[in-house]
Amino acid sequence: MAVNIFKKFAEGLSKTKNDLSGKLDNLFKIHSKIDDELLDELEEILITSDMGVESTMEIIDKLRKTVKDEKLKDHQSILSTLKKHLKEAIMAGESFDDSTLQTPMIILIVGVNGVGKTTTIGKLAHRYQSMGKKVLVAAGDTFRAAAIDQLQIWCERAGVDIIANKEGSDPAAVIFDSIQAAKARGTDILICDTAGRLHNKKNLMNELNKIFRVVEKEYDEKHKQVYLVLDATTGQNGIIQAKTFKEVAKIDGIILTKLDGTAKGGIIIPVQKELNVPVKYVGLGEKLDDLQLFDPNNFVDAIFE
């Protein structure tokens, strides 16, 4: 199992890994000595993989100190120390294990259009179902008929039930109906899709608040999670989106999708650090089982394999 999960990370992050290892090989070829110049260039490499200026500077400062204190002399020990510091930097958040999720649980999936919400719901439904949970999905994105159809297809794939109404119907009403159905059926986990139209903050706030009010009547804090989906390929832009969502809702976790589609997987570090919200899951491809619990060890090992 553990080997399998690492393999998923390694495959999903291969673009980032290839990019980094090419640059590191080059760096170590040019700078055989461990000196300030090498560390400066290493800093630049990490920044270009989207690890964020602030985070990278902290990590490199730490590395510089370790190089001095422990008199590191070779490339291999630089690399292993860097990995250690990176893991520590990411570990700062608590580790998350969804096998202990409180049930009944409602999970609201929010995020702008195209980031991968619907796809992620299919993957999450499959994941929880495989863990033996009874799952129900709510088609809360009612703005386009295609969105409902797409969710329906994912639910068929995952083998879970879906509650949907027609295009244009009130999202909060769909969520209300889904909650009633979940209670009647003894559902463990109800996962709700939402529309991601981010025309303006006020609009978003109104729509989400209507849904939150319905949810809050039935579920307390312990039985409710709001996950924000961010597309890793959008880099810094994703962080800006997240800040807007944070202003209108309490976000419990981030799901970072499409890591397989970018060479800049380092974005996960500023995402956690700047938003101060833990990354709970990562999307590593388009198949049902391409969603993994975020694991800092696997992540760092996979990008510096």
Q: Name the residues that contact Mg ion, by CB under 5 A.
A: 117-118, 147
114 binds, among ligand GDP, Mg ion, none (CB under 5 to 8 A by kind): ligand GDP
Residue 122 CB, shortest distance to ligand GDP, in Å, is 8
Is 114 an interacting residue with respect to ligand GDP (CB under 6 A)?
yes
Is 285 an interacting residue with respect to ligand GDP (CB under 6 A)?
yes
115 binds, among ligand GDP, Mg ion, none (CB under 5 to 8 A by kind): ligand GDP
257 binds, among Mg ion, ligand GDP, none (CB under 5 to 8 A by kind): ligand GDP
Give the phi and the psi of residue 105 in degrees, each rounded to 5: -130, 140
Residue 65's nearest CA partner among 49, 51, 84 is 84
Residue 263 CB, shortest distance to ligand GDP, in Å, is 13
116 binds, among Mg ion, ligand GDP, none (CB under 5 to 8 A by kind): ligand GDP
Question: Which residues inside 58-77 make contact with ligand GDP, applying CB under 6 A?
Answer: none
Is 237 an interacting residue with respect to ligand GDP (CB under 6 A)?
no
Question: Exposure of 65 by Cβ count < 10 A (0-12 exposed, 13-18 middle, 19+ buried)?
Answer: exposed
Report how far residue 130's alpha carbon sits from residue 115's, in angstroms, rounded to the nearest whole number: 24
CA distances 215 to 167, 178, 221, 244, 249, Å, are 21, 10, 10, 21, 13
Rg (CA), the chain: 21
Is 116 an interacting residue with respect to ligand GDP (CB under 6 A)?
yes
For ligand GDP, the closer of residues 114 and 159 by Cβ is 114
Residue 40 CB, shortest distance to ligand GDP, in Å, is 34
> Which residue stretch of 48-56, 82-90, 180-188, 282-290 sits at the interface with ligand GDP (rule: CB under 6 A)?
282-290
Report how far residue 214's alpha carbon sits from residue 194's, in angstroms, rounded to the nearest whole number: 14
How many CB atoms sit inside 10 A of residue 46's CB?
A: 23
Could you give the string, one character per residue 248-277, with x where binding to ligand GDP holds by CB under 6 A and - elsewhere?
---------xx-xx----------------
CA distances 201 to 7, 193, 208, 235, 248, Å, are 40, 19, 10, 21, 8
Report how far residue 130's alpha carbon sits from residue 155's, in angstroms, rounded to the nearest whole number: 13
Is 111 an interacting residue with respect to ligand GDP (CB under 6 A)?
yes
Report how far residue 80's alpha carbon sits from residue 63's, in angstroms, rounded to the nearest whole number: 10
Is 115 an interacting residue with respect to ligand GDP (CB under 6 A)?
yes
Selected binder of ligand GDP within 55, 118, 241, 292 (CB under 6 A):
118
The residues that bridge with 226 in the sheet, in sequence order, are 108
Report how far residue 25's alpha carbon sits from residue 37's, in angstroms, rounded to the nearest whole number: 15
For ligand GDP, the closer of residues 113 and 200 by Cβ is 113
> Which residue stretch of 62-70, 113-121, 164-172, 271-279 sits at the interface with ligand GDP (rule: CB under 6 A)?
113-121
Report how far residue 56's alpha carbon sits from residue 270's, in angstroms, rounded to the nearest whole number: 9
> Letter for the amino acid at 86?
L
Selected binder of ligand GDP within 52, 104, 265, 283 (CB under 6 A):
283
Is 140 an interacting residue with respect to ligand GDP (CB under 6 A)?
no
User: Could you list the residues that contact ligand GDP (CB under 6 A)?
Assistant: 111, 113-119, 196, 257-258, 260-261, 283-286, 290
